[in-house]
Amino acid sequence: MPTLPAPLLIALSTLLFATMGVCVKLASVHYGTGEIVFYRGLTGALMIALVARRRGGSLRTPVPGMHLWRSIAGVTALCLWFYSIGGLPLATAVTLNYMSSVWMALFLIGGAIAMGRSRVDGRLFAAVLTGFAGVVLILRPTVEQEQLWHGVMGLLSGMISAVAYLQIAALGRVGEPEYRTVFYFSLGGMAAGAGLMAINGMQPHTVGGALLLLAVGLLATTAQLLMTRAYATGTPLVNASLQYLGIVFSFVYGMLLFDDPVTWMALAGMALIVGAGLAATLLRSRAQLPVHNPATPSTES
């Protein structure tokens, strides 16, 4: 793994994830979501297996049930996110996925209420409301009526990603290494993708399409490894903040490559979601709750 400072590793990983989003959007013209998810998982599983073998690590796990539930949540979020990328402006789809931190704050509030606590941190309420205000601003100017379903799927991908992050934290607490978590997540992607292909069929390959599928897997897995390394060596809150560079990169890609619309409401909405996500992460950290360790980061659940 490159011996680079953690902030630079995070910046590189977010750039790779944004580039992966470009490849997913281009590939969605030729392939269904299931095919993209399958080949992303296949490439990732092969890469992680090679890395594990080179490092002398084992892929056998003592907690297969935990990996199963983590993979179900993570792969579901991934499928929804890839689907939303195909029908939304790139930055919009990425930003909706980054709502995961806001969803985690909402889960925290719900858990406190369920446990009968008389007081819940009002700042978390404010962060959640701010995040959803940002969603409203983003979806109104940038999502046409026929794109609304893709927007709902993008929003759901962020919510289910929050569940996956909690499961990743649980795997970390029982001592599972990050590469093993990524490996079983990749296997889950292969299984889900194969199931979707069995239902929806397969598209014939072209050289360009095959290269896009390969790029999705290579970019995603490399970005995961870089971000995992950054969280192992850097400051979690700094890393979590820099992850939002992914929205910036996606916004630039969207303008340059896809002629995505630029409106003040969309920009304001993105700013609100970034602010809400950072506030929610900071408040969870102060409450001594785990900041999510993105063995599968915000844009890859």
* Alpha carbon distance 219, 13 (integer Å): 9
Whether residue 164 lies inside any domain: the answer is: yes
Does residue 260 sit within a domain?
A: yes
CA pair distance 251, 91, nearest whole angstrom: 5
What pLDDT, in 10s, does the model give residues 171-209? Answer: 888 888 888 988 999 999 999 999 999 999 899 999 999
DSSP tag of 28: T
Tokens coding 100: 């995961």
What percent of the chain has a predicted confidence (pLDDT) above 70?
87
The answer to whether residue 294 sits within a structural domain is no
- 63 burial class (0-12, 13-18, 19+ CB within 10 angstroms)? middle
Q: Is residue 291 domain-resident?
A: no
In which residue ranges of the chain is pLDDT below 70?
1-3, 117-120, 140-146, 232, 236-237, 284-301
What residues make up the domain containing 181?
A: 6-286
Distance CA 208, CA 27 (A): 9
The per-residue DSSP string of 238-290 comes to HHHHHTTHHHHHHHHHHHHHH-----HHHHHHHHHHHHHHHHHHHHHHHTTPP
User: According to the model, what pLDDT value does residue 230 have?
Assistant: 79
Measured CA to CA, the distance from residue 74 to residue 44 in angstroms comes to 14
Q: What is the DSSP letter of 294?
A: -
Domains: count for the chain? 1
User: Virtual CA dihedral for 50, 54, 60, 62, nearest 10 degrees?
Assistant: -130
258, 88 in Cβ contact below 8 A? no
Task: Evaluate whether residue 295 is within a structural domain.
Answer: no
Residue 160 to residues 48, 50, 101, 212, 261, Cα–Cα distance (Å): 24, 29, 11, 26, 27
110 exposed, middle or buried (CB, 10 Å; 0-12, 13-18, 19+)?
exposed
Report if residue 117 sits inside a domain. Answer: yes
Does residue 297 lie within any of the structural domains?
Answer: no
CB 213 within 8 A of CB 29: no
